[in-house]
Structure 1
Amino acid sequence: MTLSLSRIRAVNAVASGGSYAAAARALKISQPAVARHVKDLEAEFGVRLFDRKNGVLSPTPLCNELCDVAERMAEAERAATRLLTRHNTLLNGRLKIGLGNSMPGMALIAQFLKRHPGIEIAVETGSHERITRAVLTREVDIGVLPDVPADGRFRRALLARQNVVAIVHPDSPLSREAAVTCERLMAEPLIFRTRGSSTQRVVDRAFRSAGFEPSPLLTLDTRDAVYEAVVNGLGVGFMWRFGTGRTDVVHRVPVSDMQRQYEEVVFSLGDERSMLFDVFFSAVESFRTEADVILDH
Protein backbone atom coordinates (compact mmCIF):
# COMPACT_ATOMS: atom_id res chain seq x y z
CA MET A 1 0.00 0.00 0.00
CA THR A 2 1.38 3.39 -0.99
CA LEU A 3 0.38 6.51 0.97
CA SER A 4 2.14 9.37 -0.81
CA LEU A 5 1.96 13.09 -0.17
CA SER A 6 0.59 13.68 -3.67
CA ARG A 7 -2.33 11.33 -2.98
CA ILE A 8 -3.15 12.99 0.33
CA ARG A 9 -2.94 16.43 -1.26
CA ALA A 10 -5.34 15.29 -3.98
CA VAL A 11 -7.89 13.99 -1.44
CA ASN A 12 -7.70 17.23 0.55
CA ALA A 13 -8.12 19.35 -2.60
CA VAL A 14 -11.19 17.38 -3.75
CA ALA A 15 -12.73 17.68 -0.28
CA SER A 16 -12.15 21.45 -0.35
CA GLY A 17 -13.30 22.03 -3.96
CA GLY A 18 -16.09 19.48 -4.23
CA SER A 19 -14.94 18.10 -7.58
CA TYR A 20 -11.99 16.66 -9.43
CA ALA A 21 -11.97 19.69 -11.72
CA ALA A 22 -11.71 22.19 -8.85
CA ALA A 23 -8.98 20.12 -7.21
CA ALA A 24 -7.05 19.93 -10.48
CA ARG A 25 -7.13 23.73 -10.81
CA ALA A 26 -5.95 24.17 -7.22
CA LEU A 27 -3.12 21.66 -7.57
CA LYS A 28 -2.24 22.70 -11.15
CA ILE A 29 -2.34 19.10 -12.40
CA SER A 30 -4.74 17.34 -14.75
CA GLN A 31 -8.23 16.25 -13.71
CA PRO A 32 -7.56 12.59 -14.59
CA ALA A 33 -4.45 12.66 -12.39
CA VAL A 34 -6.52 13.87 -9.42
CA ALA A 35 -9.18 11.21 -10.00
CA ARG A 36 -6.52 8.52 -10.30
CA HIS A 37 -4.89 9.52 -6.98
CA VAL A 38 -8.24 9.32 -5.18
CA LYS A 39 -9.49 6.10 -6.79
CA ASP A 40 -6.14 4.31 -6.39
CA LEU A 41 -6.07 5.24 -2.70
CA GLU A 42 -9.63 3.97 -2.20
CA ALA A 43 -8.86 0.74 -4.03
CA GLU A 44 -5.56 -0.03 -2.29
CA PHE A 45 -6.91 0.59 1.23
CA GLY A 46 -10.43 -0.68 0.59
CA VAL A 47 -12.15 2.50 1.77
CA ARG A 48 -14.65 5.04 0.44
CA LEU A 49 -13.54 8.65 0.68
CA PHE A 50 -16.30 10.49 -1.21
CA ASP A 51 -20.04 10.24 -1.83
CA ARG A 52 -21.49 11.95 -4.88
CA LYS A 53 -24.49 14.09 -3.95
CA ASN A 54 -26.19 16.36 -6.49
CA GLY A 55 -23.06 16.36 -8.65
CA VAL A 56 -20.78 17.30 -5.74
CA LEU A 57 -18.20 15.00 -4.16
CA SER A 58 -18.88 15.05 -0.41
CA PRO A 59 -16.19 13.70 1.95
CA THR A 60 -17.06 10.72 4.12
CA PRO A 61 -16.33 10.88 7.88
CA LEU A 62 -13.14 8.91 7.22
CA CYS A 63 -12.13 11.42 4.55
CA ASN A 64 -12.70 14.32 6.95
CA GLU A 65 -10.31 12.71 9.42
CA LEU A 66 -7.78 12.19 6.65
CA CYS A 67 -8.12 15.85 5.64
CA ASP A 68 -7.34 16.93 9.21
CA VAL A 69 -4.11 14.97 8.92
CA ALA A 70 -3.48 16.51 5.49
CA GLU A 71 -3.77 20.03 6.94
CA ARG A 72 -1.23 19.22 9.64
CA MET A 73 1.07 17.77 7.00
CA ALA A 74 0.68 20.89 4.89
CA GLU A 75 1.66 23.07 7.84
CA ALA A 76 4.66 20.81 8.48
CA GLU A 77 5.67 21.26 4.83
CA ARG A 78 5.38 25.04 5.18
CA ALA A 79 7.45 24.92 8.36
CA ALA A 80 10.09 22.81 6.60
CA THR A 81 10.21 25.32 3.75
CA ARG A 82 10.65 28.21 6.19
CA LEU A 83 13.40 26.25 7.94
CA LEU A 84 15.25 25.58 4.70
CA THR A 85 15.03 29.18 3.47
CA ARG A 86 15.58 31.07 6.73
CA HIS A 87 19.30 31.57 6.07
CA ASN A 88 18.72 33.12 2.66
CA THR A 89 16.30 35.94 3.38
CA LEU A 90 16.68 39.29 5.09
CA LEU A 91 12.92 39.70 5.53
CA ASN A 92 12.14 36.87 7.92
CA GLY A 93 15.42 35.02 8.29
CA ARG A 94 16.56 33.51 11.55
CA LEU A 95 19.96 33.03 13.16
CA LYS A 96 20.91 31.34 16.42
CA ILE A 97 23.96 32.94 18.04
CA GLY A 98 26.05 31.36 20.81
CA LEU A 99 27.74 33.75 23.24
CA GLY A 100 30.40 32.91 25.79
CA ASN A 101 30.05 36.38 27.31
CA SER A 102 27.27 38.95 27.01
CA MET A 103 29.72 41.43 25.52
CA PRO A 104 30.92 42.26 22.97
CA GLY A 105 28.60 39.80 21.21
CA MET A 106 25.41 41.46 22.45
CA ALA A 107 26.60 44.85 21.22
CA LEU A 108 27.27 43.31 17.81
CA ILE A 109 23.77 41.78 17.73
CA ALA A 110 22.20 45.12 18.71
CA GLN A 111 24.01 46.91 15.90
CA PHE A 112 23.12 44.15 13.42
CA LEU A 113 19.40 44.29 14.28
CA LYS A 114 19.29 48.05 13.80
CA ARG A 115 20.32 47.47 10.20
CA HIS A 116 18.28 44.30 9.63
CA PRO A 117 15.22 44.43 11.91
CA GLY A 118 13.41 41.72 9.95
CA ILE A 119 15.83 39.02 11.05
CA GLU A 120 15.01 36.97 14.13
CA ILE A 121 17.95 36.36 16.45
CA ALA A 122 17.93 33.63 19.11
CA VAL A 123 20.78 33.76 21.65
CA GLU A 124 22.25 30.90 23.64
CA THR A 125 24.87 31.52 26.32
CA GLY A 126 27.32 29.07 27.84
CA SER A 127 30.92 28.23 28.52
CA HIS A 128 33.61 28.37 25.86
CA GLU A 129 33.48 24.59 25.61
CA ARG A 130 29.68 24.52 25.34
CA ILE A 131 29.43 27.16 22.60
CA THR A 132 32.24 25.64 20.54
CA ARG A 133 30.53 22.26 20.68
CA ALA A 134 27.18 23.86 19.76
CA VAL A 135 28.70 25.37 16.59
CA LEU A 136 30.29 22.05 15.65
CA THR A 137 26.99 20.19 16.10
CA ARG A 138 25.00 22.98 14.37
CA GLU A 139 22.93 23.63 17.49
CA VAL A 140 23.82 27.27 16.96
CA ASP A 141 24.61 28.92 13.64
CA ILE A 142 27.33 31.33 14.75
CA GLY A 143 29.49 31.55 17.88
CA VAL A 144 31.16 34.56 19.49
CA LEU A 145 34.06 33.63 21.78
CA PRO A 146 37.53 34.76 22.84
CA ASP A 147 40.63 32.63 22.37
CA VAL A 148 39.23 30.29 19.71
CA PRO A 149 42.05 28.08 18.41
CA ALA A 150 42.81 28.17 14.69
CA ASP A 151 40.73 25.41 13.13
CA GLY A 152 40.30 24.74 9.43
CA ARG A 153 36.66 23.76 10.01
CA PHE A 154 35.72 27.33 10.99
CA ARG A 155 34.98 30.51 9.11
CA ARG A 156 36.31 33.27 11.40
CA ALA A 157 36.21 37.04 11.70
CA LEU A 158 37.97 39.19 14.30
CA LEU A 159 35.51 41.13 16.46
CA ALA A 160 37.76 42.70 19.14
CA ARG A 161 40.91 42.18 21.17
CA GLN A 162 40.76 42.05 24.95
CA ASN A 163 42.45 40.66 28.05
CA VAL A 164 41.28 39.21 31.35
CA VAL A 165 41.03 41.57 34.35
CA ALA A 166 40.33 41.15 38.04
CA ILE A 167 36.98 42.42 39.30
CA VAL A 168 36.80 43.71 42.88
CA HIS A 169 34.30 45.33 45.22
CA PRO A 170 34.75 49.13 45.58
CA ASP A 171 35.43 48.70 49.31
CA SER A 172 38.43 46.46 48.58
CA PRO A 173 41.87 48.14 48.81
CA LEU A 174 42.56 46.59 45.38
CA SER A 175 40.00 48.91 43.81
CA ARG A 176 42.45 51.78 44.27
CA GLU A 177 45.34 49.97 42.59
CA ALA A 178 46.35 50.79 39.02
CA ALA A 179 47.29 47.12 38.55
CA VAL A 180 47.86 44.01 40.64
CA THR A 181 49.97 40.87 40.33
CA CYS A 182 49.14 37.21 40.79
CA GLU A 183 51.40 37.24 43.84
CA ARG A 184 49.32 40.05 45.40
CA LEU A 185 46.10 38.23 44.55
CA MET A 186 47.23 35.11 46.44
CA ALA A 187 46.44 37.03 49.66
CA GLU A 188 42.79 37.53 48.60
CA PRO A 189 39.77 35.19 48.59
CA LEU A 190 39.52 34.17 44.94
CA ILE A 191 36.43 33.31 42.93
CA PHE A 192 37.05 31.03 39.96
CA ARG A 193 35.00 29.68 37.07
CA THR A 194 34.42 26.00 36.40
CA ARG A 195 36.22 23.91 33.80
CA GLY A 196 35.42 24.84 30.20
CA SER A 197 35.59 28.60 30.80
CA SER A 198 37.93 30.58 28.56
CA THR A 199 38.38 33.10 31.38
CA GLN A 200 39.50 30.40 33.77
CA ARG A 201 41.97 28.98 31.28
CA VAL A 202 43.71 32.36 31.12
CA VAL A 203 43.63 32.75 34.91
CA ASP A 204 45.06 29.26 35.51
CA ARG A 205 47.78 29.87 32.94
CA ALA A 206 48.79 33.18 34.54
CA PHE A 207 49.01 31.81 38.09
CA ARG A 208 50.95 28.77 36.89
CA SER A 209 53.42 30.96 34.97
CA ALA A 210 53.90 33.09 38.10
CA GLY A 211 54.63 29.95 40.14
CA PHE A 212 51.42 29.79 42.18
CA GLU A 213 48.66 27.23 42.67
CA PRO A 214 45.76 29.10 44.30
CA SER A 215 42.85 27.41 46.08
CA PRO A 216 39.71 29.44 45.33
CA LEU A 217 37.15 30.32 47.96
CA LEU A 218 34.38 29.66 45.42
CA THR A 219 34.15 27.97 42.03
CA LEU A 220 31.10 29.10 40.07
CA ASP A 221 29.67 27.99 36.74
CA THR A 222 28.75 31.33 35.15
CA ARG A 223 30.27 34.76 34.70
CA ASP A 224 27.14 36.37 36.17
CA ALA A 225 27.48 34.25 39.32
CA VAL A 226 31.10 35.39 39.70
CA TYR A 227 30.04 38.99 39.16
CA GLU A 228 27.31 38.75 41.81
CA ALA A 229 29.70 37.13 44.29
CA VAL A 230 32.07 40.08 43.87
CA VAL A 231 29.19 42.57 44.19
CA ASN A 232 28.37 40.93 47.53
CA GLY A 233 31.94 41.30 48.77
CA LEU A 234 32.87 37.61 48.76
CA GLY A 235 36.21 38.02 47.02
CA VAL A 236 38.08 38.77 43.80
CA GLY A 237 36.81 37.37 40.52
CA PHE A 238 38.00 37.53 36.92
CA MET A 239 36.37 38.34 33.60
CA TRP A 240 37.18 39.46 30.08
CA ARG A 241 37.68 43.22 29.92
CA PHE A 242 34.59 43.67 27.72
CA GLY A 243 32.72 40.65 29.11
CA THR A 244 29.74 42.71 30.31
CA GLY A 245 28.13 46.06 29.64
CA ARG A 246 27.37 46.53 33.33
CA THR A 247 28.97 49.58 34.93
CA ASP A 248 27.75 49.25 38.53
CA VAL A 249 29.79 48.82 41.72
CA VAL A 250 32.36 46.33 40.48
CA HIS A 251 35.80 47.73 39.59
CA ARG A 252 37.92 46.24 36.80
CA VAL A 253 41.59 46.07 37.80
CA PRO A 254 44.33 45.09 35.31
CA VAL A 255 46.50 42.12 36.32
CA SER A 256 50.10 42.53 35.21
CA ASP A 257 50.41 38.77 34.64
CA MET A 258 47.34 38.80 32.40
CA GLN A 259 48.13 41.56 29.93
CA ARG A 260 48.14 39.36 26.84
CA GLN A 261 45.45 40.44 24.36
CA TYR A 262 43.26 37.65 23.03
CA GLU A 263 41.11 37.80 19.93
CA GLU A 264 37.34 37.69 20.33
CA VAL A 265 36.09 36.09 17.13
CA VAL A 266 32.85 35.41 15.35
CA PHE A 267 32.92 31.93 13.84
CA SER A 268 30.76 29.37 12.09
CA LEU A 269 31.33 26.11 10.29
CA GLY A 270 33.17 26.78 7.06
CA ASP A 271 30.64 24.95 4.90
CA GLU A 272 27.74 27.12 6.14
CA ARG A 273 27.35 29.58 3.29
CA SER A 274 24.24 31.69 2.81
CA MET A 275 23.14 35.28 2.36
CA LEU A 276 22.30 35.63 6.06
CA PHE A 277 25.67 34.31 7.23
CA ASP A 278 27.46 36.61 4.79
CA VAL A 279 25.50 39.66 5.97
CA PHE A 280 26.24 38.87 9.62
CA PHE A 281 29.96 38.45 8.95
CA SER A 282 29.94 41.74 7.03
CA ALA A 283 28.44 43.39 10.11
CA VAL A 284 31.44 42.23 12.14
CA GLU A 285 33.77 44.37 10.06
CA SER A 286 31.53 47.43 10.53
CA PHE A 287 31.36 46.77 14.26
CA ARG A 288 35.12 46.49 14.55
CA THR A 289 35.67 49.98 13.13
CA GLU A 290 33.40 51.39 15.85
CA ALA A 291 34.42 48.99 18.62
CA ASP A 292 36.38 51.48 20.72
CA VAL A 293 33.34 53.75 21.03
CA ILE A 294 30.83 50.94 21.58
CA LEU A 295 32.81 48.90 24.11
CA ASP A 296 34.04 51.83 26.17
CA HIS A 297 30.54 53.36 26.36
Structure 2
Amino acid sequence: MAMRYFQLRAFDAVAREGSFSKAASLLGLTQPAITAQIRNLEEDCKQALFVRTAEGASLTDAAKPLFELTRQMFAVEEQIEDMVSQATLFRHGSLKLAADGPQVILQVVAAFRAQYPDIELSVSFGSQREVWDDLLAYRVDAAVIGNVKSDTRVMAIPVAQQDMRVLVPKRHPLAAAKSVSVADLRAYSVIRREAGSNTQRLVDEALRRAKVSLPTAMKLGSREAVLEAVRQGLGIGFVLEREIPAGTRTVAIPVEELRGCNVDSVVCLHSQRKRGIVQTFLAVAETVANLERDR
Protein backbone atom coordinates (compact mmCIF):
# COMPACT_ATOMS: atom_id res chain seq x y z
CA MET A 1 0.00 0.00 0.00
CA ALA A 2 2.84 2.38 0.87
CA MET A 3 4.49 1.61 -2.48
CA ARG A 4 1.21 2.35 -4.34
CA TYR A 5 0.92 5.66 -2.48
CA PHE A 6 4.29 6.81 -3.81
CA GLN A 7 3.39 5.65 -7.31
CA LEU A 8 0.18 7.67 -7.20
CA ARG A 9 2.01 10.66 -5.73
CA ALA A 10 4.49 10.53 -8.62
CA PHE A 11 1.66 10.11 -11.15
CA ASP A 12 -0.24 13.08 -9.73
CA ALA A 13 2.87 15.28 -9.77
CA VAL A 14 3.74 14.46 -13.40
CA ALA A 15 0.12 15.04 -14.45
CA ARG A 16 0.05 18.42 -12.71
CA GLU A 17 3.44 19.61 -13.93
CA GLY A 18 3.34 18.08 -17.40
CA SER A 19 6.96 17.03 -16.96
CA PHE A 20 8.91 14.21 -15.27
CA SER A 21 11.76 16.57 -14.33
CA LYS A 22 9.43 19.20 -12.86
CA ALA A 23 7.58 16.51 -10.91
CA ALA A 24 10.90 15.28 -9.52
CA SER A 25 11.79 18.80 -8.43
CA LEU A 26 8.34 19.26 -6.85
CA LEU A 27 8.64 16.06 -4.81
CA GLY A 28 12.34 16.40 -4.00
CA LEU A 29 13.22 13.21 -5.88
CA THR A 30 15.43 12.32 -8.81
CA GLN A 31 13.95 12.02 -12.27
CA PRO A 32 14.88 8.30 -12.52
CA ALA A 33 12.97 7.69 -9.27
CA ILE A 34 9.86 9.37 -10.72
CA THR A 35 10.26 7.43 -13.98
CA ALA A 36 10.51 4.14 -12.05
CA GLN A 37 7.36 4.90 -10.02
CA ILE A 38 5.39 5.70 -13.17
CA ARG A 39 6.69 2.62 -15.00
CA ASN A 40 5.62 0.38 -12.10
CA LEU A 41 2.19 2.01 -11.95
CA GLU A 42 1.74 1.60 -15.71
CA GLU A 43 2.64 -2.08 -15.36
CA ASP A 44 0.04 -2.48 -12.60
CA CYS A 45 -2.57 -0.65 -14.70
CA LYS A 46 -1.52 -2.60 -17.82
CA GLN A 47 -1.65 0.54 -19.96
CA ALA A 48 0.29 3.69 -20.71
CA LEU A 49 -0.60 6.67 -18.52
CA PHE A 50 1.41 9.38 -20.30
CA VAL A 51 2.26 10.41 -23.83
CA ARG A 52 5.93 11.35 -23.69
CA THR A 53 7.25 14.00 -26.11
CA ALA A 54 10.23 16.35 -26.28
CA GLU A 55 7.98 19.06 -24.80
CA GLY A 56 6.96 17.03 -21.75
CA ALA A 57 4.32 14.50 -20.71
CA SER A 58 0.55 14.60 -21.19
CA LEU A 59 -2.12 12.26 -19.88
CA THR A 60 -3.54 9.53 -22.07
CA ASP A 61 -7.33 9.41 -22.27
CA ALA A 62 -7.31 6.29 -20.10
CA ALA A 63 -5.34 8.10 -17.37
CA LYS A 64 -7.62 11.13 -17.04
CA PRO A 65 -10.15 9.45 -14.68
CA LEU A 66 -7.26 8.31 -12.48
CA PHE A 67 -5.97 11.89 -12.32
CA GLU A 68 -9.40 13.11 -11.16
CA LEU A 69 -9.25 10.56 -8.34
CA THR A 70 -5.67 11.36 -7.31
CA ARG A 71 -6.55 15.06 -7.23
CA GLN A 72 -9.39 14.29 -4.83
CA MET A 73 -7.10 12.09 -2.77
CA PHE A 74 -4.25 14.56 -2.47
CA ALA A 75 -6.56 17.58 -2.16
CA VAL A 76 -7.77 16.10 1.15
CA GLU A 77 -4.16 15.60 2.20
CA GLU A 78 -3.40 19.22 1.27
CA GLN A 79 -6.41 20.39 3.32
CA ILE A 80 -5.02 18.54 6.34
CA GLU A 81 -1.62 20.16 5.82
CA ASP A 82 -3.29 23.56 5.49
CA MET A 83 -5.18 23.02 8.73
CA VAL A 84 -1.86 22.46 10.47
CA SER A 85 -0.43 25.52 8.72
CA GLN A 86 -3.35 27.64 9.95
CA ALA A 87 -2.43 26.69 13.48
CA THR A 88 0.91 28.43 12.95
CA LEU A 89 -0.74 31.51 11.39
CA PHE A 90 0.64 30.79 7.92
CA ARG A 91 4.27 31.13 8.90
CA HIS A 92 5.09 28.81 6.01
CA GLY A 93 3.50 27.41 2.89
CA SER A 94 3.32 28.19 -0.81
CA LEU A 95 0.77 29.29 -3.35
CA LYS A 96 0.96 28.89 -7.13
CA LEU A 97 -0.90 31.52 -9.14
CA ALA A 98 -1.39 32.36 -12.81
CA ALA A 99 -2.90 35.26 -14.73
CA ASP A 100 -3.53 36.54 -18.25
CA GLY A 101 -2.07 39.92 -17.27
CA PRO A 102 0.03 41.31 -14.42
CA GLN A 103 -1.93 44.34 -13.21
CA VAL A 104 -4.87 42.86 -11.29
CA ILE A 105 -3.18 39.76 -9.90
CA LEU A 106 -0.22 41.75 -8.59
CA GLN A 107 -2.66 44.12 -6.87
CA VAL A 108 -4.18 41.12 -5.05
CA VAL A 109 -0.74 39.62 -4.40
CA ALA A 110 0.44 42.87 -2.82
CA ALA A 111 -2.54 42.87 -0.47
CA PHE A 112 -1.95 39.20 0.39
CA ARG A 113 1.78 39.72 0.92
CA ALA A 114 1.12 42.59 3.32
CA GLN A 115 -0.77 40.21 5.62
CA TYR A 116 1.17 36.97 5.03
CA PRO A 117 4.75 37.93 4.16
CA ASP A 118 6.22 34.48 4.77
CA ILE A 119 4.09 32.59 2.26
CA GLU A 120 6.06 31.68 -0.85
CA LEU A 121 4.20 32.95 -3.93
CA SER A 122 4.86 32.14 -7.58
CA VAL A 123 2.97 33.77 -10.45
CA SER A 124 3.04 32.64 -14.08
CA PHE A 125 1.59 34.56 -17.01
CA GLY A 126 0.05 33.41 -20.28
CA SER A 127 -2.91 33.79 -22.58
CA GLN A 128 -6.39 33.34 -21.17
CA ARG A 129 -6.53 29.84 -22.68
CA GLU A 130 -3.17 28.85 -21.18
CA VAL A 131 -4.12 30.10 -17.71
CA TRP A 132 -7.48 28.33 -17.88
CA ASP A 133 -5.76 25.07 -18.85
CA ASP A 134 -3.27 25.45 -15.97
CA LEU A 135 -6.15 25.94 -13.53
CA LEU A 136 -8.13 22.90 -14.71
CA ALA A 137 -4.97 20.77 -14.73
CA TYR A 138 -4.23 21.68 -11.07
CA ARG A 139 -0.91 23.26 -12.06
CA VAL A 140 -1.91 26.38 -10.12
CA ASP A 141 -3.96 26.93 -6.97
CA ALA A 142 -5.80 30.04 -8.17
CA ALA A 143 -5.72 32.45 -11.09
CA VAL A 144 -6.88 35.83 -12.36
CA ILE A 145 -8.69 35.65 -15.71
CA GLY A 146 -10.58 38.25 -17.70
CA ASN A 147 -14.23 37.45 -18.47
CA VAL A 148 -14.02 33.93 -17.12
CA LYS A 149 -16.55 31.57 -18.64
CA SER A 150 -19.15 29.90 -16.45
CA ASP A 151 -18.07 26.41 -15.40
CA THR A 152 -19.47 24.22 -12.62
CA ARG A 153 -15.94 23.21 -11.61
CA VAL A 154 -14.85 26.77 -10.92
CA MET A 155 -15.78 29.58 -8.52
CA ALA A 156 -15.03 33.20 -9.43
CA ILE A 157 -14.74 36.47 -7.51
CA PRO A 158 -15.01 39.54 -9.79
CA VAL A 159 -12.29 41.99 -8.76
CA ALA A 160 -11.94 44.75 -11.36
CA GLN A 161 -13.67 46.08 -14.48
CA GLN A 162 -11.77 47.71 -17.34
CA ASP A 163 -12.37 49.54 -20.62
CA MET A 164 -10.53 48.66 -23.82
CA ARG A 165 -8.44 51.34 -25.54
CA VAL A 166 -7.03 51.50 -29.04
CA LEU A 167 -3.35 52.38 -28.96
CA VAL A 168 -1.96 54.56 -31.75
CA PRO A 169 1.37 56.33 -32.37
CA LYS A 170 1.53 59.93 -31.13
CA ARG A 171 1.40 61.38 -34.66
CA HIS A 172 -1.43 59.11 -35.85
CA PRO A 173 -4.47 60.83 -37.49
CA LEU A 174 -6.67 59.63 -34.58
CA ALA A 175 -4.28 60.70 -31.82
CA ALA A 176 -6.32 63.80 -30.89
CA ALA A 177 -9.66 61.95 -30.70
CA LYS A 178 -11.40 61.82 -27.32
CA SER A 179 -13.01 58.50 -28.25
CA VAL A 180 -13.63 56.39 -31.36
CA SER A 181 -15.99 53.70 -32.60
CA VAL A 182 -14.74 50.52 -34.23
CA ALA A 183 -16.06 51.87 -37.54
CA ASP A 184 -13.61 54.79 -37.23
CA LEU A 185 -10.75 52.28 -37.37
CA ARG A 186 -11.58 50.71 -40.75
CA ALA A 187 -8.78 52.52 -42.58
CA TYR A 188 -6.02 51.40 -40.23
CA SER A 189 -4.14 48.10 -40.05
CA VAL A 190 -4.31 46.40 -36.67
CA ILE A 191 -1.71 44.36 -34.83
CA ARG A 192 -3.47 41.22 -33.66
CA ARG A 193 -2.74 39.13 -30.58
CA GLU A 194 -2.25 35.38 -30.54
CA ALA A 195 -5.08 32.81 -30.42
CA GLY A 196 -6.33 32.45 -26.86
CA SER A 197 -5.82 36.13 -26.01
CA ASN A 198 -8.67 37.62 -23.99
CA THR A 199 -7.96 41.06 -25.48
CA GLN A 200 -8.20 39.76 -29.05
CA ARG A 201 -11.38 37.85 -28.29
CA LEU A 202 -13.08 40.97 -26.91
CA VAL A 203 -12.02 43.03 -29.93
CA ASP A 204 -13.17 40.35 -32.39
CA GLU A 205 -16.56 40.09 -30.68
CA ALA A 206 -17.05 43.88 -30.88
CA LEU A 207 -16.09 43.87 -34.57
CA ARG A 208 -18.54 41.06 -35.31
CA ARG A 209 -21.36 42.87 -33.54
CA ALA A 210 -20.60 46.06 -35.48
CA LYS A 211 -20.11 44.11 -38.74
CA VAL A 212 -16.74 45.79 -39.18
CA SER A 213 -13.49 44.21 -40.35
CA LEU A 214 -10.03 45.69 -39.88
CA PRO A 215 -6.99 44.92 -42.06
CA THR A 216 -4.27 42.97 -40.26
CA ALA A 217 -0.79 44.43 -40.11
CA MET A 218 0.69 41.42 -38.33
CA LYS A 219 0.06 38.97 -35.49
CA LEU A 220 2.26 39.09 -32.38
CA GLY A 221 2.42 36.71 -29.43
CA SER A 222 2.60 39.06 -26.47
CA ARG A 223 1.21 42.31 -25.10
CA GLU A 224 4.70 43.79 -24.87
CA ALA A 225 5.38 43.03 -28.54
CA VAL A 226 2.15 44.76 -29.58
CA LEU A 227 3.05 47.86 -27.55
CA GLU A 228 6.48 48.09 -29.16
CA ALA A 229 5.08 47.51 -32.65
CA VAL A 230 2.67 50.43 -32.17
CA ARG A 231 5.55 52.61 -30.95
CA GLN A 232 7.39 51.73 -34.16
CA GLY A 233 4.43 52.77 -36.30
CA LEU A 234 3.71 49.24 -37.56
CA GLY A 235 -0.03 49.46 -36.89
CA ILE A 236 -2.62 50.17 -34.21
CA GLY A 237 -3.22 47.84 -31.26
CA PHE A 238 -5.65 47.23 -28.43
CA VAL A 239 -4.91 47.30 -24.70
CA LEU A 240 -6.99 47.26 -21.54
CA GLU A 241 -6.88 50.49 -19.58
CA ARG A 242 -4.63 49.11 -16.84
CA GLU A 243 -2.12 48.09 -19.49
CA ILE A 244 -1.66 51.55 -21.02
CA PRO A 245 2.09 52.09 -21.32
CA ALA A 246 3.87 55.05 -19.79
CA GLY A 247 5.61 57.50 -22.08
CA THR A 248 4.71 59.95 -24.82
CA ARG A 249 5.21 57.88 -27.98
CA THR A 250 1.67 56.45 -28.01
CA VAL A 251 -1.88 57.57 -27.27
CA ALA A 252 -4.61 55.32 -25.82
CA ILE A 253 -8.13 56.23 -26.99
CA PRO A 254 -11.39 54.85 -25.52
CA VAL A 255 -13.42 52.67 -27.89
CA GLU A 256 -17.17 53.23 -27.54
CA GLU A 257 -18.20 49.61 -28.12
CA LEU A 258 -15.62 48.32 -25.64
CA ARG A 259 -16.32 50.36 -22.51
CA GLY A 260 -16.42 48.16 -19.40
CA CYS A 261 -15.87 45.10 -21.59
CA ASN A 262 -13.45 43.27 -19.32
CA VAL A 263 -14.10 41.90 -15.83
CA ASP A 264 -11.09 40.36 -14.11
CA SER A 265 -11.92 37.62 -11.60
CA VAL A 266 -9.93 35.58 -9.13
CA VAL A 267 -10.84 31.96 -9.83
CA CYS A 268 -10.15 28.57 -8.29
CA LEU A 269 -11.50 25.06 -8.58
CA HIS A 270 -14.26 24.18 -6.12
CA SER A 271 -12.19 21.16 -5.12
CA GLN A 272 -9.37 23.50 -4.02
CA ARG A 273 -11.34 26.25 -2.29
CA LYS A 274 -11.50 24.41 1.06
CA ARG A 275 -7.73 24.52 1.42
CA GLY A 276 -6.93 27.05 4.14
CA ILE A 277 -4.31 28.96 2.19
CA VAL A 278 -6.59 29.20 -0.86
CA GLN A 279 -9.49 30.35 1.31
CA THR A 280 -7.29 33.07 2.74
CA PHE A 281 -6.19 34.23 -0.72
CA LEU A 282 -9.84 34.37 -1.82
CA ALA A 283 -10.74 36.42 1.27
CA VAL A 284 -8.01 38.93 0.38
CA ALA A 285 -9.35 39.04 -3.19
CA GLU A 286 -12.82 39.85 -1.80
CA THR A 287 -11.34 42.74 0.16
CA VAL A 288 -9.59 44.09 -2.94
CA ALA A 289 -12.84 43.76 -4.90
CA ASN A 290 -14.76 45.74 -2.27
CA LEU A 291 -12.13 48.48 -2.33
CA GLU A 292 -12.38 48.64 -6.13
CA ARG A 293 -16.18 48.98 -5.98
CA ASP A 294 -15.92 51.78 -3.42
CA ARG A 295 -13.66 53.88 -5.64
* Larger of the two Rg values belongs to structure: 1
Q: Which residue of 2 aligns with 1:208?
A: 208
Which AA in structure 1 matches 2:216?
P
Equivalence for 1:103? 103
> Cα gap change, 1:261/1:213 in structure 2, threshold over 3 Å: closer, same or farther?
closer
Which stretches of structure 1, 4 residues or longer, exceed 4 Å deviation after superposition?
83-88
Q: Which runs of 5+ in 1 are unaligned?
A: 5-73
1:158 is displaced (CA, Å) by: 1.1
Alignment of 1:1-297 (within 5 A): 84=78, 87=82, 89=85, 90-243=90-243, 246-249=245-248, 250-272=250-272, 273-291=274-292
CA-CA distance at 1:86 after TM superposition? 6.8
How far did 1:173 drift? 3.1
**Contact residue 98 and residue 143 of structure 1 kept, 8 A:** yes
More moved, 208-217 vs 264-273: 208-217
Give the superposition deviation at 1:293: 9.4
Distance 1:137 1:267 in 2: 14
The answer to whether the 8 A contact 1:182-1:257 is kept is yes
Distance in 1 between residues matched to 2:200 and 2:28, nearest whole Å: 46
Q: Name the structure 2 match of 1:44.
A: none
Over the matched positions of the two proteins, sequence identity in percent amounts to: 26
Q: In the TM superposition, what is the alpha-carbon distance from 1:126 to its structure 2 partner?
A: 0.4
Give the 3-state SS of the residue equivalent to 1:175 in structure 2: coil
Structure 1 residue 218: deviation in Å?
1.2
Q: Tell me the distance in 1 between the aligned counterparts of 2:181 and 2:230.
A: 18
- Equivalent residue letter for 1:277: V
Q: One-letter code of the match for 2:287?
A: S
Conservation of the 8 A alpha-carbon contact between 1:97 and 1:142: yes
Q: Secondary structure at the match of 1:271?
A: coil
Would the alpha carbon gap of residues 75 and 136 (structure 1) be closer, same or farther in structure 2, given more than 3 Å must change? closer
1:153-182 Cα shifts (integer Å, max 9, x gaps): 112111111232212222223222111111
Per the normalisation by structure 1, the TM-score is: 0.67
How far the C-alpha of 1:214 sits from its partner, in A, is 2.1
1:161·1:262 contact (CA, 8 Å) conserved in 2?
yes
CA contact (8 A) 1:104 1:243 kept: no
Q: Structure 1 residues 97, 167: CA separation in 2 closer, same or farther (over 3 Å shift)?
A: same
TM-score scaled to structure 2, two decimals? 0.67
> Following the alignment from structure 1 to structure 2, what is the Cα–Cα distance between the partners of residues 157 and 138?
18
- Structure-2 residue corresponding to 1:45: none
Does structure 1 retain, via aligned residues, the 8 Å contact 2:188–2:215? no
Task: Check conservation: 2:181, 2:256, Cα contact below 8 A.
Answer: yes
Give me the whole-angstrom Cα distance separating, in 1, the residues matched to 2:134 and 2:81: 19
